[in-house]
Structure 1
Amino acid sequence: MRRIIALGNAQLAEHGPEQLSVREIARGLGMVSSAVYRYVVNRDELLTLLLVDAFDDLADAVEAAIAEVSAADPAERFTRLAHAVRSWAIVNPARWALLYGTPVRGYAAPAEMTTGPGTRVLTRLLEVVAEVDGAPAGPELGATLAAALERGAHELGTEVSAWTALRATALWSGLVGVVNGELTEQYGAQFAPVAEELFAAQVEVLRGVLGPERGC
């Protein structure tokens, strides 16, 4: 299975998700097609394997980065999380695009297999936001939205307020957006030489969403 995933990731990088082929996986393994179908039956199942692998690999990188920082410093933990996400995306642009780029036509990810791995990073981010003391009150939320935010956090195993969940979703959306902006060169060629500096500045702006840092 590890070899199948490695070959699938190589195909993904070279041809994109639309051109994934189980037959090509079989050739790479030196198997006849009927043999490889015992492990992965079609393109959709291969896509699911690659999604889960990428989600877990990204989350492992994030968790290793934030583990180095005390929970008493949530701003730095967010900074480490953000830079870990960018670093992983730069090394794995095709896998990042599979996770957060254009959806693959005709493919629906099975929630029972992808939701857990796919929400690991957001769960860590929720925990970081919840570590901030004294965050100022945000906009008044309607009861339906507030309940949805709290329920979503609960489903991720984190009991936080609607306002905390809202800040976490805003941070995550912002982070995915700035990484996508860099990878797809949306900012223009003039920013390529200062891409790392630009990202660091964007993270500083996003840190403001966390709330006041401890001791401030």
Structure 2
Amino acid sequence: MTADGIADATADGTLSSTPATPRALARERTMARIVELGNAQLAECGAGELSVREIARGLGMVSSAVYRYVCSRDELLTLLIVDAYADLADAVDDALAEVDAGSEVDAGSGTGAGADPRARFRALATAMVRWAVVHPERWTLLYGTPVSGYDAPAESTNADGTRVMARMLAIAADAGGAPAAGERHEMHVDPEVQTLLEAHLVEFGVQADAEVGVRAVTAWSGLVGIISAHVFRQLGADAAAVGEQLLASQVELLADLVTGR
């Protein structure tokens, strides 16, 4: 067992069932409260004004005590980024599970085959749009202007930060990445790009070629871009008035890129 009473690995690699100590549970509750207070600060004043001292006030602690949990603004930022990535990815996974379950009911199979790739892409995109609209400040933290002087540590953020991209790659692989009928052409993929994409496809456990990867990454970049344009009101008041309809049309164009018509 670890010093905090968290279950550790046994000799065969499995986790022991030793319950966490009250100390460990108290720490877990405090960390959850820190994230909650950090998100409230984020919504009120933005990432650039985050303050660990304000977190301490919210917890009713002196500043020296809160540094046992989060030692700097950068560490607080990392906690909030990981929390946002995980929350967004959970929303996408819930949406994909729902559309897959609906497809099984419609088919009457119950085999777990899931929905077709285009329906899954729409579900993924819709979940991202809804999450961004409800949490604009957290979307900004993930996909807006980088916070000056801060570099997100990959070892902490990559696991949750790449979950939605992995779902996108899987959807593209299932669809074959095909464009619309009659429009297919050989795509030239630079050898260095091909090597990079193939490595990531293997990392995500997706069996597909580099062209599929290019289409998925392009659709992903486009999706983040159109959501950001909507959230940040970059297209003007007229476009904002028909934002949902415009987003729906743009999502369909991106779906063509990934799954074909």
TM range (shorter): over 0.9
Distance 1:28 1:72, change over 3 A: closer
- Structure 1: where are the runs of 5+ without partners? none
Bigger RCO of structures 1 and 2 (CA < 8 A, at least 6 apart): 1
Deviation at 1:133, TM superposition (A): 4.4
Q: Deviations over 1:137-188 (max 9, x none)?
A: 5412122221111112222332321011111100100000000101111111
Q: Which residue of 2 aligns with 1:151?
A: 199
Selected match of 2:67 from 37, 44, 58: 37
RMSD across aligned C-alpha pairs, in angstroms? 1.4
Q: Which has the larger radius of gyration?
A: 2
Q: Which residue of 1 aligns with 2:109?
A: none
TM-score (norm 1): 0.94
Q: Which residue of 2 aligns with 1:202?
A: 250
Q: Deviations over 1:31-87 (max 9, x none)?
A: 111111111001000000000000000000000001122334100100010010010
Q: Which residue of 2 aligns with 1:17?
A: 47
TM-score (norm 2): 0.78
Code of the residue aligned with 1:32 in structure 2: it is V
Paired with 1:212 and 1:91, the residues of 2 have a C-alpha distance of 30
Q: Deviations over 1:67-119 (max 9, x none)?
A: 12233410010001001001000110010000001111111111110011100
Query: Does residue 1:55 correspond to 2:103, yes or no?
Result: no
Paired with 1:134 and 1:54, the residues of 2 have a C-alpha distance of 29
Query: Does residue 1:105 correspond to 2:148, yes or no?
Result: yes
Q: Which residue of 2 aligns with 1:95?
A: 138
Selected match of 2:129 from 65, 68, 86: 86
Q: Which aligned segments of 4 or more residues in structure 1 are displaced greater than 6 angstroms? A: none
Of 81-90 and 132-141, deviating more is 132-141
Code of the residue aligned with 2:232 in structure 1: it is T
Distance 1:197 1:39, change over 3 A: same
- Structure 2: where are the runs of 5+ without partners? 1-30, 101-113, 179-183
Distance 1:114 1:138, change over 3 A: farther
Query: Does residue 1:125 correspond to 2:165, yes or no?
Result: no
Distance 1:38 1:79, change over 3 A: same
Distance 1:138 1:39, change over 3 A: farther
SS of match in other structure, 2:242: helix
Of 124-133 and 175-184, deviating more is 124-133
Paired with 1:78 and 1:181, the residues of 2 have a C-alpha distance of 20
Q: Which residue of 2 aligns with 1:176?
A: 224
Paired with 2:99 and 2:140, the residues of 1 have a C-alpha distance of 29
Paired with 2:169 and 2:243, the residues of 1 have a C-alpha distance of 27
Query: Does residue 1:211 correspond to 2:259, yes or no?
Result: yes
Q: Which residue of 1 aligns with 2:94?
A: 64
